[in-house]
Amino acid sequence: MSEPLVYLNGEFVPYEAARVPVEDRGLQFADGVYEVVRYYDGRPFRMQQHLARLVRSAAGIELPLPPIEEIRQAMDALVERQGLQDAAVYLQITRGPAPRAHGLVPDPRPTVIAIAREARSVRPRPSLRAVTVSDDRWARCYLKTTALLPNALARERARRLGADDGIFVRDGFVMEATASNVFVVFAGRLVTPPLTNYILAGITREAVIELAAGEGIPVSEEPVSAHLLYQADEVFLSGTNSELGPVVAIDGRPVGEGRPGPIFNRLLAAFDVAVRRAVPAGARSS
């Protein structure tokens, strides 16, 4: 596979030619925000929601953004120029280059980077094994920033324990996984932890809640005690890159019957229909 194009500060450049200054604050301080948008059949899924979250995240760290329409057009152009149909576009915006100092930059020159790569949906979805991990992240997880070292360490801990992912637990309650939201099924009822400062408002999470309502599946947002994970009939994760993923074991204990359950299968089928549905007129720039 050839290396992707990179959108860098208003230009489309070859991957090997893309460079940022060594004192970019994204490198020095993880001073930046990001989004990942999936494209299906060449069309973005929930672009407006992604861009709205980008704006919220940037406001949360006092980061000025370029015009949002420019960002949208750049992401679309990356997919179109490379002839991609099913793709994931990674967008990152940092506060830009400045001499290293802990205070914010008075007049920042944000660095804007976007990369599009092919991303195919794998069906059937691979079953996942998870472990619970103590949540030692910062208190602004609701902002989608590039400060993801605790997430990376938790994912590595899970790998070393023979699992695929870690589920963060704080004060005895489930928060989210390392890069996705958590859903739990009890007797046909779908539950997901409510949004707090420790949980990112996942775009796919929102879609799942809407799909569940459309399928007639009772759904609620309420605190989930960690010990209830072992009593659940089903557990699954949701995320932009991972879509929906069934968890069949947690901390070495089987979830339900140890295989993807009926609620998960119904929602995955509904999700697959939703992402292939035609985007309404005007929802995508050209």
Domain housing 96 = 5-118
- Which band of pLDDT confidence, cut at 50, 70 and 90, is reported for residue 282? very low
d(CA 246, CA 165): 11
> Is 77 inside a domain boundary?
yes
Buried/exposed code over 253-267 (b: 16+ C-beta within 10 A; e: otherwise): eebbeeebbebbbeb
> Is 54 inside a domain boundary?
yes
d(CA 48, CA 92): 17
d(CA 16, CA 29): 24
Say yes or no: 114 and 132 in one domain: no
Angle at 229 between CA 228 and CA 232, to 5 degrees: 85
Read off the pLDDT of residues 155-193 as tens digits, 9 standing for 90 and up. 999 999 999 999 999 999 999 999 999 999 999 999 999
Q: Which CATH number fits the domain that encloses residue 25?
A: 3.30.470.10
- Which band of pLDDT confidence, cut at 50, 70 and 90, is reported for residue 209? very high
Say yes or no: 232 and 97 in one domain: no
Dihedral angle of Cα 35, 39, 44, 48, to the nearest 10 degrees:
-20
Say yes or no: 190 and 210 in one domain: yes
Residues labelled catalytic: 144
> Is 285 inside a domain boundary?
no
Say yes or no: 106 and 142 in one domain: no
* Domain's final residue, options 99, 118, 137: 118
Say yes or no: 143 and 255 in one domain: yes
Average pLDDT in the chain: 95
Task: Please tell me the predicted confidence (pLDDT) of residue 277.
Answer: 87
Check pLDDT > 90 for residue 284.
no
Say yes or no: 139 and 188 in one domain: yes
Say yes or no: 59 and 154 in one domain: no
Say yes or no: 113 and 141 in one domain: no
Q: Which residue has the tokens 């899924």?
A: 45
> Is 283 inside a domain boundary?
no
Of 114, 127, 45, 106, the residue nearest 73 (C-alpha): 114
Read off the pLDDT of residues 42-51 as tens digits, 9 standing for 90 and up. 999 999 999 9
37 Cβ contact list (under 8 Å, min separation 6)? 44, 45, 46, 47, 50, 75, 88, 89, 91, 240
> Is 40 inside a domain boundary?
yes
For 59, the 3-state DSSP assignment is helix
DSSP string, 112-126: EEEEEEE-PPPSSPP
Of 43, 173, 36, 171, the residue nearest 113 (C-alpha): 36
Q: Which CATH number fits the domain that encloses residue 153?
A: 3.20.10.10
262-276 and 203-214 helices cross at what angle (nearest 10)?
110
Say yes or no: 88 and 168 in one domain: no
- What total number of domains does the chain contain? 2
Question: Which residues does residue 186 pair with via DSSP β-bridges, in sequence order?
Answer: 189
Calculate what percentage of the chain has a pLDDT beyond 70.
Answer: 97
d(CA 204, CA 106): 35
Say yes or no: 110 and 164 in one domain: no
* Domain's final residue, options 118, 149, 174: 118
Question: Which residues does residue 247 pair with via DSSP β-bridges, in sequence order?
Answer: 128, 235
> Is 28 inside a domain boundary?
yes
Say yes or no: 19 and 78 in one domain: yes
d(CA 190, CA 182): 10
Check pLDDT > 50 for residue 214.
yes
> Is 172 inside a domain boundary?
yes
> Is 286 inside a domain boundary?
no
Say yes or no: 112 and 141 in one domain: no
* Domain's final residue, options 71, 89, 118: 118
Read off the pLDDT of residues 106-150 as tens digits, 9 standing for 90 and up. 999 999 999 999 999 999 999 999 999 999 999 999 999 999 999
253 Cβ contact list (under 8 Å, min separation 6)? 230
Check pLDDT > 60 for residue 285.
no
- Which band of pLDDT confidence, cut at 50, 70 and 90, is reported for residue 98? very high
Q: What is the pTM of this model?
A: 0.95
